[in-house]
């Protein structure tokens, strides 16, 4: 693992133990571009090296043992065709830094291609630069807290060479803020459930965020009862670790035109309750609090960057376990809103704790509410592992989240919120049933949540059950929980504050 120190590149000076990555476009000018590469590094590619880099089967070659040059040089070829996307350089550099993590490299030089080639993919030159930084940062992440022998941390100075040094510097500053939030999110997600029960989740969030000037208030079980949050209590009553309700407040140094509430599901471990999961289904349930982690991480990044938008974070935290007090199928639970829930399935607990959280958020009268939850396996079946389900009746909110998802590659896809689906959540003996049945499970879960949101407030629900979990689809999500959602929300909030300032 490296401690990465980013700097805008100026005069190229290769010190001992240095490496470099140089990108060349595979187009009609590739031979001209290769000549430019040779001139920059004062080397001559051998006939074999030229044939290898020009081969359709190869994307890159490694050049070593260059005297007075970087001791390791990667020449990488790319195409800006229909297969290219904004994740390309992020994913490549994440893989690269994973590959060299055990090397003794002390200096890394990244030569970024001119922005002109990428205008149709990136709306902003600065974010184009950030995608390179994000790849290195995300690929460098590790979680070795519980290993006897920790990964050795070595300094690695990274020089970024690009057309606009000012934008590179700005990209470095923003990347630092975003990565602080993402790494905090990932650290929470990767904690074992024995070490991160509701009280520890609350303590960790409070300890970290208060250092950055955010106000964190934690309701204990007594206060939760006082506020009649019966759904949160019901989910948590099967555990010796009692629930907590966490409220985070971020007020910018400048006046904010709007207040946005971020709500995150905080189930620190989910057995499924009496409708118990198979053991294979429990292996990833330490990350069933990913929604809570995304809220905390986003607010941390916002505070570090002094984003000019007021934020309210709301996190219901509980552990869905089994004992003699655990909630049963067919129980009736009264929520803080006064509405009652028939427990049709004890493994549909996330929507229950969100019911009390969304009601609380609504009562604070924010201008928008966005919630995050690893809510349904049905959403993973529908969209796969790398896309979140987006549910809202507000077209502007949907468009803004989609656009920023495509920008950051924290992608979302809108699914219907038609009222036809209300019927699936009906109960004959309560206001609503938490089991929406087999079909369209991600949609019926969202329609359940809708019952607890003030209809006057624009609201979006993000089901992150797929992309929150480690997967093999990218080089930066392979080994650990992903922190999905923080990049998306940081850009969404940044754009939101820019648009408000123009009014």
Q: What angle do CA 189, 144, 280 make, to 5 degrees?
A: 50
386, 277 in Cβ contact below 8 A?
A: no
pLDDT tens by residue, 42-59 = 999 999 999 999 999 999
C-alpha span between 328 and 238 (Å, rounded) = 10
Active-site residue, selected from the candidate residues 351, 407, 447, 487: 351
Helices of type H across 306-450 = 350-363, 377-383, 395-408, 441-450
Instruction: Report how far residue 418's alpha carbon sits from residue 412's, in angstroms, rounded to the nearest whole number.
Output: 18
Q: What gap in Å lies between CA 339 and CA 451, rounded to an integer?
A: 9
Find the DSSP H helices in 72-220. 88-99, 125-140, 165-190, 198-210
Burial class of 289 by CB neighbour count within 10 A (0 to 12, 13 to 18, 19+): buried
In the chain, what are the domain boundaries? 2-168, 196-502
pTM (predicted TM-score): 0.97
Q: Is 351 a catalytic residue?
A: yes
Looking at residue 503, what is its pLDDT?
Answer: 54
Strands 244-250 and 72-78: unpaired
What contacts 51, CB < 8 A, 6 or more positions away? none
Q: Single out the catalytic residue among 227, 277, 334, 393.
A: 277
Fold for domain 2-168? Answer: 3.40.220
pLDDT at residue 500, rounded to an integer? 65
Q: What is the residue whose two structure tokens read 């929520």?
A: 335
Tell me which of 3.40.630.10, 3.40.640.10, 3.40.1360.10, 1.10.3720.10 is the CATH number of domain 196-502: 3.40.630.10
What pLDDT, on the 0 to 100 scale, is given for residue 501? 56
| Confidence at residue 138, expressed as pLDDT on a 0 to 100 scale | 99
Q: Residue 108's pLDDT is what?
A: 98
Tokens in use for 408? 């950051």
Determine the Cα–Cα distance for residues 334 and 353; give it in Å rounded to an integer.
12
Q: What is the DSSP letter of 113?
A: P
**Residue 459 CB contacts under 8 Å (≥ 6 apart), including other chains:** 358, 368, 369, 370, 371, 392, 394, 397, 450, 453
What are the backbone angles phi and psi of residue 298, rounded to the nearest 5°? -65, -45
CA angle centred on 329, ends 326 and 330, rounded to 5° = 120
Q: What is the 3-state secondary structure (H, E, C) of 266-285?
A: EEEEECCCCCCCCHHHHCCH
Q: pLDDT (tens digit, 0 to 9) for every residue of the chain, 503 residues total?
A: 999 999 999 999 899 999 999 999 999 999 999 999 999 999 999 999 999 999 999 999 999 888 778 999 999 999 999 999 999 999 999 999 999 999 999 999 999 999 999 999 999 999 999 999 999 999 999 999 999 999 889 999 999 999 999 999 999 999 999 999 999 999 999 999 999 999 999 999 999 999 999 999 999 999 999 999 999 999 999 999 999 999 999 999 888 779 999 999 999 999 999 999 999 989 999 999 999 999 999 999 999 999 999 999 999 999 999 999 999 999 999 999 999 999 999 999 999 999 999 999 999 999 999 999 999 999 999 999 999 999 999 999 999 999 999 999 999 999 999 999 999 999 999 999 999 988 999 999 999 999 999 999 999 999 999 999 999 999 999 999 999 999 999 999 999 877 765 55
- State the Cα–Cα distance between residues 474 and 134, nearest whole angstrom: 13
Pick from 25, 45, 41: nearest CA to 33: 25
Beta bridge partners of 440: none
Residue 33 is predicted with a pLDDT of 96
Cα–Cα separations (whole angstroms), residue 290 to 47, 157, 211: 51, 32, 22
- State how far the alpha carbon of 396 is from the alpha carbons of 1, 294, 399, 400, 414, in Å: 41, 22, 5, 6, 12
Contact 461/392 with Cβ under 8 angstroms? yes
Q: From residue 409, give the alpha-carbon distance in Å to each of 131, 160, 297, 463.
A: 10, 22, 17, 16
The pair of structure tokens assigned to 4 is 């990465």
Find out whether 201 and 296 touch, Cβ atoms under 8 Å.
Answer: no
């Amino acid at each position: 693992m490296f401690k990465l120190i980013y700097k805008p590149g100026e005069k190229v000076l290769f010190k001992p133990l240095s490496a470099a990555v140089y990108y060349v476009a595979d187009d009609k000018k590739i031979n001209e571009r290769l000549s430019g590469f040779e001139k920059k590094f004062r080397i001559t590619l051998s006939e074999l090296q030229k044939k290898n880099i020009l081969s359709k089967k190869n994307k890159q070659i490694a050049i070593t043992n260059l005297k007075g040059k970087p001791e390791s040089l990667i020449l990488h070829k790319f195409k800006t065709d229909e297969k290219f996307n904004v994740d390309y350089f992020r994913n490549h550099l994440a893989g690269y830094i994973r590959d060299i993590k055990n090397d003794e490299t002390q200096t890394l030089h990244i030569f970024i291609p001119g922005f002109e080639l990428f205008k149709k993919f990136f709306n902003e030159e600065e974010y184009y630069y950030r995608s390179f930084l994000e790849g290195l940062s995300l690929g460098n992440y590790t979680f070795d807290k519980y290993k006897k022998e920790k990964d050795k941390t070595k300094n690695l100075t990274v020089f970024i060479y690009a057309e606009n040094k000012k934008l590179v510097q700005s990209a470095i500053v923003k990347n630092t803020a975003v990565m602080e939030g993402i790494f905090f999110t990932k650290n929470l997600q990767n904690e074992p459930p024995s070490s991160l029960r509701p009280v520890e989740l609350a303590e960790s969030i409070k300890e970290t965020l208060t250092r950055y000037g955010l106000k964190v208030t934690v309701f204990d079980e007594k206060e939760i009862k006082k506020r009649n949050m019966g759904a949160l209590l019901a989910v948590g009553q099967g555990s010796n670790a009692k629930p907590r309700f966490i409220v985070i407040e971020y007020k910018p140094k400048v006046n904010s035109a709007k207040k946005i509430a971020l709500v995150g599901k905080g189930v620190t471990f989910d057995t499924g309750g009496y409708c118990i999961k198979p053991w294979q289904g429990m292996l990833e349930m330490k990350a069933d609090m990913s929604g809570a982690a995304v809220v905390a991480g986003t607010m941390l990044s916002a505070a570090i960057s002094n984003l000019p938008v007021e934020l309210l974070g709301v996190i219901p935290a509980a552990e869905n376990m089994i004992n003699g007090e655990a909630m049963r199928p067919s129980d009736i639970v009264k929520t803080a809103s006064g509405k009652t829930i028939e427990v049709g399935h004890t493994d549909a607990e996330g929507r229950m704790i969100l019911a009390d959280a969304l009601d609380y958020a609504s009562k604070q009268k924010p201008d928008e509410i966005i919630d995050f939850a690893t809510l349904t396996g049905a959403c993973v079946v529908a969209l796969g592992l790398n896309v979140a389900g987006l549910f809202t009746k507000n077209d502007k909110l949907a468009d803004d989240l989609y656009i920023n998802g495509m920008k950051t590659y924290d992608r979302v896809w809108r699914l219907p919120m038609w009222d036809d689906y209300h019927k699936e959540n009906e109960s004959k003996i309560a206001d609503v049933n938490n089991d929406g049945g087999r079909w369209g499970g991600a949609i019926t879960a969202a329609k359940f949540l809708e019952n607890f949101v003030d209809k006057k407030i624009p609201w979006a629900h993000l089901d992150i059950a797929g992309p929150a979990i480690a997967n093999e689809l990218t080089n930066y999500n392979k080994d650990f929980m992903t922190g999905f959602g923080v990049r998306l929300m940081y850009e969404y909030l940044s754009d939101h504050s820019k648009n408000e300032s123009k009014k």
